[in-house]
Structure 1
Amino acid sequence: MKLQRMNRRALTLGALAVSGALALTACGSDDTGSNGGDGATNTAQAGNIDCGDAKGQLLADGSSAQKNAIDAWVKQFTAQCNGVQINYKGGGSGAGITAFTQGQVAFAGSDSALDSEEIAASKEVCSGGQGIDLPMVGGPIAVSYNVPGVDNLVLDAPTLAKIFDSKIKKWNDSAIAKLNPDAKLPDLAIQPFHRSDESGTTDNFTKYLIATTPGNWKYEGGKAWQAEGGQAASGSSGVAQQVSQTSGAIGYMELSYAEGMAVVAIDTGASEPVKASTDGATKAIADAEIVGTGKDLALDINYKTKADGAYPITLVTYEIVCDKGNKADTLPATKAFLNYIASEDGQGLLADAGYAPIPDDIIAKVRTTIEGLS
C-alpha cells in the first residue's frame, strides 16, 4: 500500500532547536562526525513525556546513523524521567542486532530491517514472540561534487551509475551535458570517491542504483563497495574531505557532511530535479511500502519514486524490539522511551536537526505497535 505524504506542520509542533547539525551516518563502521550536538533542554517538551513506570538502567546498541538523535532524545527523556538511565552504545547495526539476539540489550538500532535468520535468532530471546522493526529515523544521502565553475548540477540514475562505475570519465561527457545544457562543463577528469569501510550508506546508495538502473549497475550491492575504479576514503567524513579538496571529485555521504559543498540535484522524472533535504527524504519514505508481517513494520523504499519533491536516495533506521517476551525489568522503560521518540514531540526535533521525520501514516502505526509491546 502506498502511504500518504506526511503533514509537515503536525510533525514540527514542539520542535526542539538542537545546537549543531546532527550527522545521520550509516551503520557498521560509519562515523558520526564532529557536527553532533545533544540539544538544549526544552522544559515544555520534556513536560509532555509520560514516564509511566519507567525506572532503572536501559541498555541499547546499534546503528550509529541515529546516535546523535538518540543522544538528544535521551537528554530530554531522562530530564523528565530521572529514575531512568539509558545507555545507547551506537556500535553499528551489526553489533546492535547481535547484542539484541543474544539478549544483552533491551532494543537495537539498525538501518537495515531484520532478515529471516535474525528473526529466527530473536525468537530465542523474545519468549513467545520475535524481534520486530519499528521505523523511527530517516535521512537523505547526498551526492556532493567539486567542479570549478559549476554551481548547479543535475544527474540521473544511469549517469550516476556510469560515473561511479568509471564508464563516464570526463565532466564534459555528452550524457552530463545533455542534463545540464546551461552549464559550462570543463574538460576535467572525474574523480569518484566511495567508502573504504563497510557502510549502510554504501548499501542504500547502491540499492538506489540497482533499483533504478540495473542495466548500468550490475553489482549485487551490500555494505561493501563492489565496483572497480574510483578512490576510497574511510567514513562519510573521509569522503567529504576528499571531495572538498579534490578538483573533479564526486562522492556520496549523509546530508550533514555535505554542508557548504555543492550537491547534485537528482532527475527522478518528477516535474523538477530534487536535491537532498530532510523534507525530500520524508516524502520519499511516505512513498514506501510496509513489507513486514504482523507487527513488523519493515519498509521497502520506492527508489523509483517520481513524487514531486521526494528525494530517492534515502535510508531508514529502525528500532528493533521484541513484540512479546520483553524482560519485565526493562519493559516499562523501553515502552516509555520508544513512546516518546515516536511521539509528535520526539519526531518534531528531527527536521531541524538534519534528520527526516517518519511520515504520519507510518509513525501512527509505530505508536500503536509500541503500546502493544509485552
Structure 2
Amino acid sequence: GEPLYTEQDLAVNGREGFPNYSHPALTVTPDGDLLASYDGRPTGIAAPGPNSILQRRSTDGGRTWGEQQVVSAGQTTAPIKGFSHPSYLVDRETGTIFNFHVYSQRQGWEGSRPGTDPADPNVLHANVATSTDGGLTWSHRTITADITPDPGWRSRFAASGEGIQLRYGPHAGRLIQQYAIINAAGAIQAVSVYSDDHGRTWRAGEAVGVGMSHNKTVELSDGRVLLNSADSARSGYRKVAVSTDGGHSYGPVTIDRDLPDPTNDASIIRAFPDAPAGSARAKVLLFSNAASQTSRSQGTIRMSCDDGQTWPVSKVFQPGSMSYSTLTALPDGTYGLLYEPGTGIRYANFNLAWLGGICAPGS
C-alpha cells in the first residue's frame, strides 16, 4: 500500500487539569476499540506525586478520540496517594483488560523500603485495575505481596506500555507483565510477573540481570520469550536475554549493539501477532525507542525479520525530544504508536510501507 504516517496530540501539558502528562500505554480491546492510558501529574513528578491514571478511547481506529477519563484517581490532599506508570495487558481468551501501575504514598522508586503491607506508606506498591467491559469500568487491587517472593525486595514498578499473552507452546495463554525491582543489595533487576489463570492470581518469576530497568518482553516465533531492557549502568545500548520456560527465568544477559539507547523506556512487539508459530511473519518484530546514547531524543522505529537477531530497517519519526513510547498492532494491519514528544502525549498511526525496508538476505 501507500506509505501512511499521521499523528495527533492526545494530551497537552497544562490542559485539561494537569500541568504534565507522561508514561504512555496503548492497546486494542477485544471489540476493536483503541485505548490510550497515561499519567496525569499535578506536580510534574513521578511517584510519590499525587498522580492519576487517565485514559482516552477511540472507536474508529485512532482517527478520533473520546474525552479523557480516570482509571485510578490520585489524591492531592493528605494523606497523599498517587498512581503512575500504566501498562495494559489484554487476555484475548476471556476479553479481560488489565491496567498495571504504581501505587505510591510517601515514597517513590528510590526511597521505597522492604515490605508488602498495602497500608505501609513507605512501600512503593503494585496495583492492577481490571475491566470486564472493554475498559469502561474498573475494579482495583494491590498485588505487592503476590509478586514479592523475596522479602528483601524493596521497590518495584510495572514497565509502562503493554504486556503480552503467549500464543505458542506449553505456556500458551500465559499473561506476562514486566516489572523492574530493587533487590536487597540495591541492584535493579527485571522480573516477569505472570498469570496462568486469566489474571485471578499473579506471581513473579526469577529476577534477572543487574541494571535492568524499563524492560519489555515479546514472544518469538518458536515460543521463546525475548526480554529487552534499558541498561541502568548506561552502556548506551539495550540489554537482552531469552527465556525457554515462558518468562519464569532467563538465560545470560547480553548487550544488543544494534539498539542504541539512553536508558529509557522502549517498546518491542510482533508485527504480525496472529502469525502461525515458526512462520516468516512470526519472526518480524518492531521496536521503538529514543535511539540516542546521550539524550532522550531521536525517536526511531526499527524492524527485525529474524526474531530480533538483527535490526536492518529503521526510520526516525521524531528527531527532537522523545522519551517513552509504546507500539501496538491494529486490526486493519497498521500500527499505533503512543509517545512523549516533551509536550505531553502524542498518538501516531503508520504502516510498514512508511517504514520501508524488506525482509530479505543482504545478497
Relative contact order: is structure 1 or structure 2 higher (C-alpha 8 Å, sep ≥ 6)?
1
The verdict on a shared fold, with TM-score over 0.5 as the criterion, is: no
TM-score of the pair, normalised by structure 1: 0.28
- Please state which structure has a larger fraction of its residues in helix: 1
